[in-house]
């Protein structure tokens, strides 16, 4: 499955206009964010530059000024440029620029020409290098900021979240309560009496957390981790979801955008301590019986 990309209509119009105005190549940067599995390009910028028939040199001071000006500089991961009247392809110079851009973790690149042709490409550095070329995009439109503000005000006024409350009015810290659940205890169980005043500070030496740390540092295989979690009477899925949430975002990205890529099984195995492709799918699909299906 290829990554999904959406480009704001106004953004596309700006790039197209710049491309058609330029006598040579032209380039710029843009803002992009990953939102619910979709890469959304929501703004682009034309910077001071010197342009030739086969390259552009953007002023470094202009880049620094832009970085300090935008509200979310971490979203400056979109690089666009034109090939004027030539075809759209990735030149050796383009490859070098993309290699510099992807150093921040991932970046999206686009090349256009005056015939309104384009190539779109996503490059990822973490957890291992991947490249997705010949992507397509769909259009998105500017959101109504005033409507969003009004909706948020109404939501905050009318919607509240349920909170677990003790008999004596104490609220159980979420981390402590969830750990009780992982160990098979009632969510509100405090180890003695439901109503007794106790110290509910987070556990300072949690064996499950220590196991996850040891595994993430490469000191044990994934299968060994599963067996040890099972020995504590805890659930593998819930334990990993609590102590290693970043694992799920990484695996989701790999499985959604790189499952069909050659070598993905070995990449998962090497990165996650011998985890198999099937085990990764079980985790992402939220299967609660991971213990039984993997430790036998």
Q: ∠ CA 110-113-117 to the nearest 5 degrees?
A: 75
Cβ atoms of 187 and 200 within 8 Å: the answer is no
Domain count, the chain: 2
> 229 burial class (0-12, 13-18, 19+ CB within 10 angstroms)?
buried
The domain boundary, picked from 113, 140, 167, lies at: 140
pLDDT value of residue 190: 45
Residue 148 belongs to some domain of the structure: no
Instruction: Provide the token pair at 26.
Output: 């032209």
The domain boundary, picked from 121, 140, 159, lies at: 140
The DSSP secondary-structure symbol of 170 reads P
CATH number of the domain that 27 lies in? Answer: 3.40.140.10
Predicted confidence band at 143 (pLDDT cuts at 50, 70, 90)?
low
User: Quick one: 109 and 232 in the same domain?
Assistant: no
The domain boundary, picked from 88, 119, 140, lies at: 140
Mean pLDDT value of segment 188-213: 56
Mean pLDDT value of segment 193-201: 41
Predicted confidence band at 250 (pLDDT cuts at 50, 70, 90)?
confident
Residue 213 belongs to some domain of the structure: yes
More confident residue, 191 or 221: 221
Residue 107 belongs to some domain of the structure: yes
User: Quick one: 224 and 134 in the same domain?
Assistant: no
More confident residue, 104 or 185: 104
Instruction: Provide the token pair at 176.
Output: 């402590």
Residue 248 belongs to some domain of the structure: yes
User: Quick one: 126 and 9 in the same domain?
Assistant: yes
Place of tokens 């948020």: 152
Average pLDDT score over the chain: 78
63-80, pLDDT tens digit by residue? 999 999 999 999 999 999
Q: Which of 270, 273, 268 is nearest to 221 (CA)?
A: 273
170-196, pLDDT tens digit by residue? 333 344 444 444 444 444 444 444 334
User: Quick one: 12 and 105 in the same domain?
Assistant: yes
User: Quick one: 136 and 213 in the same domain?
Assistant: no
Q: Is the pLDDT of residue 224 over 70?
A: yes
Residue 240 Cα distances to 18, 31, 79, 205, 249, angstroms: 48, 32, 35, 17, 12
User: Quick one: 110 and 232 in the same domain?
Assistant: no
- Supply the range of the domain harboring residue 128: 4-140
User: Quick one: 27 and 122 in the same domain?
Assistant: yes
Residue 164 belongs to some domain of the structure: no
Cβ atoms of 291 and 235 within 8 Å: the answer is yes
Exposure string of 28-52, with b = 16+ CB inside 10 Å and e = fewer, is: bbbbbeeeeeebbbbbbbbbebebe
């Amino acid at each position: 499955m290829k990554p999904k990309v959406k480009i704001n209509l106004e953004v596309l119009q700006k790039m197209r206009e710049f491309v058609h105005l330029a006598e040579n190549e032209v380039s710029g940067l843009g803002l992009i964010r990953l939102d619910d599995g979709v890469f959304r390009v929501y703004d682009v910028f034309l910077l001071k530059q010197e342009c030739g028939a086969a390259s552009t040199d953007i002023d470094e001071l202009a880049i620094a000024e832009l970085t300090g000006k935008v509200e979310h500089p971490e979203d400056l991961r979109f690089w666009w440029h034109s090939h004027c009247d030539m075809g759209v392809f990735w030149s050796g110079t383009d490859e070098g620029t993309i290699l510099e851009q992807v150093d921040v973790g991932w970046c999206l690149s686009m090349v256009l020409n005056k015939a309104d042709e384009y190539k779109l490409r996503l490059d990822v550095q973490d957890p291992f290098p991947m490249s997705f070329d010949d992507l397509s995009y769909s259009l998105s439109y500017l959101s109504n900021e005033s409507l969003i503000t009004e909706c948020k005000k109404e939501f905050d006024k009318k919607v509240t979240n349920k909170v677990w409350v003790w008999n004596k009015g104490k609220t159980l810290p979420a981390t402590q309560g969830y750990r009780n659940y992982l160990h098979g205890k009632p969510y509100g169980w405090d180890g003695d009496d439901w109503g007794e005043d106790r110290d509910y500070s987070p556990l300072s030496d949690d064996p499950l957390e220590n196991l996850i740390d040891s595994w993430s540092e490469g000191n044990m295989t994934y299968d060994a981790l599963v067996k040890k979690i099972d020995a504590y009477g805890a659930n593998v899925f819930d334990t990993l979801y609590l102590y290693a949430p970043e694992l799920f975002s990484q695996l989701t990205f790999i499985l959604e955008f790189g499952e069909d890529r050659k070598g993905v099984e070995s990449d998962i195995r090497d990165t996650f301590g011998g985890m198999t492709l099937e085990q990764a799918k079980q985790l992402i699909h939220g299967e609660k019986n991971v213990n039984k299906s993997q430790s036998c």
